[in-house]
Amino acid sequence: MDAEARSLGNIFRHLWLLRAVAKAAGVDLDHAVKTGQLNGLDYARMVTACRGAGCSQSCALWISTRRDDGTPAVPEFCPTGDVFQRLMP
């Protein structure tokens, strides 16, 4: 492991950020897990990727300044954006 590896961020903060981005994307993560579109391991990997990405301030700013016009969106810098894109309506 890299000696300068960044520590993971607070799990609760990143879970909140992940769920807020999911809402902006029009994705119901609970429903995705229940219907088999997303498994528990993938969900855990999403949270871990979010925690290790180092973009929580940018993400929180994106969430707080986003105008909700009903168009699903995910920030370009999101480390789990590919999963959200796959699950978006």
Mind listing the pLDDT tens digit for each residue in 80-89?
Answer: 999 999 999 9
The answer on pLDDT for 2 being more than 80 is no
SS3 state of residue 76 = coil
Query: Which band of pLDDT confidence, cut at 50, 70 and 90, is reported for residue 33?
Result: very high
For 2, 11, 46, the CA distances from 62, given in Å and listed in that order, are: 30, 19, 18
Please give the backbone phi and psi of residue 24, each rounded to the nearest 5 degrees, phi first.
Answer: -65, -30
User: Rounded mean pLDDT of 39-53?
Assistant: 97
Q: What is the spatial distance between Cα 54 and Cα 63, in angstroms, rounded to a whole number?
A: 16
- The fraction of the chain above a pLDDT of 90, given in percent, is 85
Amino acid at 88: M
The answer on pLDDT for 68 being more than 90 is no
